[in-house]
A and B are shown apart, each in its own frame.
Chain A
Amino acid sequence: MKMADVAGFKRRKDESLTKGKLRGLGYACYIEACGIAPSNVAGSLGARAGLFEAGEIRVHPTGTVTVFTGSHSHGQGHETTFAQVVADRLGLPMENVDIVHGDTSKVLFGMGTYGSRSIAVGGTAIVKALDKIIAKGRKIAAHLLEAAEADIEYDRGVFKVAGTDRQKTFGEVAFAAYVPHNYPLDKLEPGLNENAFYDQTNFTFPAGSYVCEVEVDRDTGATQIVAFTAVDDFGKIINPMIVEGQVHGGLAQGIGQALTEGCRYDSTGQLLTGSFSDYAIPRAGDVPLFKLDTRETPCTHNPLGVKGCGEAGAIGAPAAVMNAITDALGVKDIPMPATAQTVWRSMHKAA
């Protein structure tokens, strides 16, 4: 409310009135069940598929890594975020990590990108596979360093014997796995390639509070969103810029739902909004500059502490926008989308 300068709203409302505009303030708080989904719960709700995700880590002899993920990326930036998770976990430079997705002849299995699940479910599957890589790496390193496996620590790309300076880099261990001249072949398979399937134990629950401010043209009913503030708790954030972009996109989509988008049919069932010259998706001019902030209360049941952020904007925005319009008009309800004509009619009914 401080970010949205709610205290100054009355002054802004009076200013708008001098320009023939009705200003309204709308709030929306949401909580969403994301990270879809524990398969047994999904099954009991009628889903006819498991909702786990799969990840595979292939470490190459050079110590570079290819990650195969079932979470497809079509603009959400998994290539960056997932590479960050892997690079961070293994202590490798990001450029040593390749992300492969979207090819069913390569990836193990994929349930898809939806339900704000990619990082929470797909990311966790990758982390589980990484843990297996590190566990096997410790065994190889213990052999190479002639130490007990229990004494091997892994830290920032280096396996070392605890309390000593004896160590092997991740690359040296990978090389030994693929050129097993000095290798415990009696106890361990060569190679360094692991996969994991992860099924959530619970949904994740991102939540947020949104404040929207609109100006409604008294003459035409046209609504302009003049300010929008969104504060979300997505749990741990891996990549703030991507999260911000996801929120921007979600908000634009939510604003579109509230103000402009709607499928309309005529009495014979013919779709009237069959092209973008009739179906109005929001454009840059339809959305304001967003004021955003985040909170990071970690999710308690996945190792990354992440909750997901893909849908947040689209969930909170429509309610915040509609509440702002009804506040401006002093009415209880108005149908979506609140096009200029719909708002104009509502004003005339109210008058």
Chain B
Amino acid sequence: MHAFEYHRPSNVKDAVALVLKKEEGRYLAGGQSLVQAMKLRLSSPTDLIDLNAIGDLKALKAESNAVTIGAMVRHAEVAASSGVRKAIPALASLAGIIGDRQVRHMGTIGGSLANNDPAADYPAAVLGLGATIVTSKRKIEADKFFKSLYETALEPGELITAVSFPVPKRAAYMKFKNPASRFAIVGVFVADFGGKVRVGVTGAGPCAFRQTDMEKALASKFAPESVANIKVKADGLNNDLHASPEYRAHLITVMARRAVEAAIK
């Protein structure tokens, strides 16, 4: 790890100002990806701006029509939250199977989304539920947030402060885990808003995406058989030592079908 300066601001304004002022400043949230990358010297920021002292980023509010999660809320907290479990149980259960226990007690939703790892779990829920990402300067719709591999709509210095998820009628997340890292080889989040259905897929492509064929089929009938025979094209899907594009394409269908089964239960 290369040397860096450490800062610990107590509010969002100071954090943003710091990151913009420094040569290569990076926000530090839970540090579950960034610190590993720094250890491997894949990332060498000149300054780390630690967000852990900013109380405003730690709020968690579950209401009947929306769940709003502060950027610095840990996965374990979302998983255990009675409010989230009541409003969007699928979101709580997704948070409960991210990585491993250590990751869940350090990792944050804001960090996960800003990093936009292609195999992270939260992006599937953000797309599947059509969440709104609230930042230090604006609100970004889910559909406009994920750009490409590790790329998001965030501008330099722009900080995610919270994520707001609309409450669906029913939803479920199904994940086929990488046996080593527990990242998603394929994860599918299906949400039914009563006639309108969204399907968010993670792990399969360069970044999370929506599966619109399935959304249409499920909108006309929200049942497992609506998606069971939809063949997803393998073109452009990830290819690595754990899964080929063809296998991932197949898994999208299987996980979507199982997510619908789980949502109906």
A143 within 8 A of B: no
Contact with B along A249-280 (1 / 0, CB 8 A): 00000000000100010000000110011111
Q: Are B176's CB and A279's CB within 8 A?
A: no
A339 within 8 A of B: yes
CA distance A273 to B242 in the complex (A): 10
Closest to B247 in A: A341
Interface centre among B176, B183, B241 (most CB of A within 10 A): B241
Q: Are B241's CB and A264's CB within 8 A?
A: yes
Residues of B within 8 A of A276 (CB): 180
Contact with A along B165-199 (1 / 0, CB 8 A): 00000000000101111010000000000000000
CA distance A272 to B178 in the complex (A): 14
Contact with B along A156-199 (1 / 0, CB 8 A): 00000000000000000000000000000000000000000000
Q: How far is the CB of B57 from chain A (nearest CB, A)?
A: 27
Q: Are A272's CB and B254's CB within 8 A?
A: no
Closest to A277 in B: B181
Residues of A within 8 A of B71 (CB): none
Residues of B within 8 A of A219 (CB): 254
Q: Are A220's CB and B181's CB within 8 A?
A: no
CA distance A281 to B250 in the complex (A): 25
Q: Are A272's CB and B180's CB within 8 A?
A: no
CA distance A336 to B5 in the complex (A): 47
B218 within 8 A of A: no
Q: How far is the CB of B105 from chain A (nearest CB, A)?
A: 18
Q: Are B247's CB and A260's CB within 8 A?
A: no
Contacts A260-B180, A339-B179, A341-B247; is A278 near B254 (CB within 8 Å)?
Answer: no
B262 within 8 A of A: no
A344 within 8 A of B: yes
Contact with A along B237-256 (1 / 0, CB 8 A): 00001111001001100100
Q: How far is the CB of A313 from chain B (nearest CB, A)?
A: 20
Q: Are A341's CB and B242's CB within 8 A?
A: yes
CA distance A220 to B243 in the complex (A): 11
CA distance A110 to B217 in the complex (A): 70
Q: Are A278's CB and B247's CB within 8 A?
A: no
Q: How far is the CB of A102 from chain B (nearest CB, A)?
A: 31
Q: How many residues of A contact B (CB 8 A)?
A: 19
Interface centre among B178, B243, B247 (most CB of A within 10 A): B247
Q: Give the contacts of A192-211 with B (CB-CB under 8 A).
A: none
Residues of A within 8 A of B251 (CB): 220
Residues of B within 8 A of A344 (CB): 247, 250
**Which residue of B241, B243, B250 is within 8 Å of A278 (Cβ)?**
B241
Q: Are A220's CB and B176's CB within 8 A?
A: yes
Closest to A260 in B: B179
CA distance A277 to B99 in the complex (A): 10
Q: Are B179's CB and A273's CB within 8 A?
A: no
Q: Are A272's CB and B176's CB within 8 A?
A: no
CA distance A340 to B178 in the complex (A): 10
Q: How far is the CB of A318 from chain B (nearest CB, A)?
A: 16
Contacts A219-B254, A220-B251, A344-B250; is A278 near B181 (CB within 8 Å)?
Answer: yes
CA distance A260 to B181 in the complex (A): 12
Contact with B along A79-116 (1 / 0, CB 8 A): 00000000000000000000000000000000000000
Q: Are B244's CB and A280's CB within 8 A?
A: no
Q: How far is the CB of B174 from chain A (nearest CB, A)?
A: 11
**Which residue of A220, A279, A341, A345 is within 8 Å of B180 (Cβ)?**
A279
Q: Give the contacts of A38-53 with B (CB-CB under 8 A).
A: none
Contact with B along A59-77 (1 / 0, CB 8 A): 0000000000000000000
Residues of B within 8 A of A273 (CB): 241
Residues of A within 8 A of B243 (CB): 341
**Which residue of B181, B183, B244, B254 is within 8 Å of A341 (Cβ)?**
B244
Residues of B within 8 A of A277 (CB): 180-181, 183
Q: How far is the CB of B225 from chain A (nearest CB, A)?
A: 14
Residues of B within 8 A of A220 (CB): 176, 251, 254
Q: How far is the CB of B4 from chain A (nearest CB, A)?
A: 23
Closest to B243 in A: A341
Residues of A within 8 A of B247 (CB): 341, 344-345
Q: How far is the CB of B244 from chain A (nearest CB, A)?
A: 7
Residues of A within 8 A of B242 (CB): 278, 339, 341
Closest to B258 in A: A219
Closest to B228 in A: A219
Contact with B along A273-300 (1 / 0, CB 8 A): 1001111110000100000000000000
Contacts A220-B254, A272-B241, A339-B242; is A278 near B176 (CB within 8 Å)?
Answer: no
Residues of A within 8 A of B176 (CB): 220, 222, 340
A-B contact list, 9 entries, CB within 8 Å: A219-B254, A220-B254, A260-B179, A277-B183, A278-B242, A279-B180, A281-B180, A286-B179, A341-B242
A-side interface residues toward B, CB under 8 Å?
A: 219-220, 222, 260, 264, 272-273, 276-281, 286, 339-341, 344-345
Which 5 A-B residue pairings sit nearest by Cβ, starting from the closest?
A280-B180, A277-B181, A280-B179, A219-B254, A264-B241
- In the complex, besides A276-B180, A278-B242, A341-B242, 15 extra interface pairs with C-beta distance below 8 angstroms are A220-B251, A222-B176, A260-B180, A272-B241, A273-B241, A277-B183, A280-B178, A280-B180, A339-B179, A339-B242, A340-B176, A341-B247, A344-B247, A344-B250, A345-B247
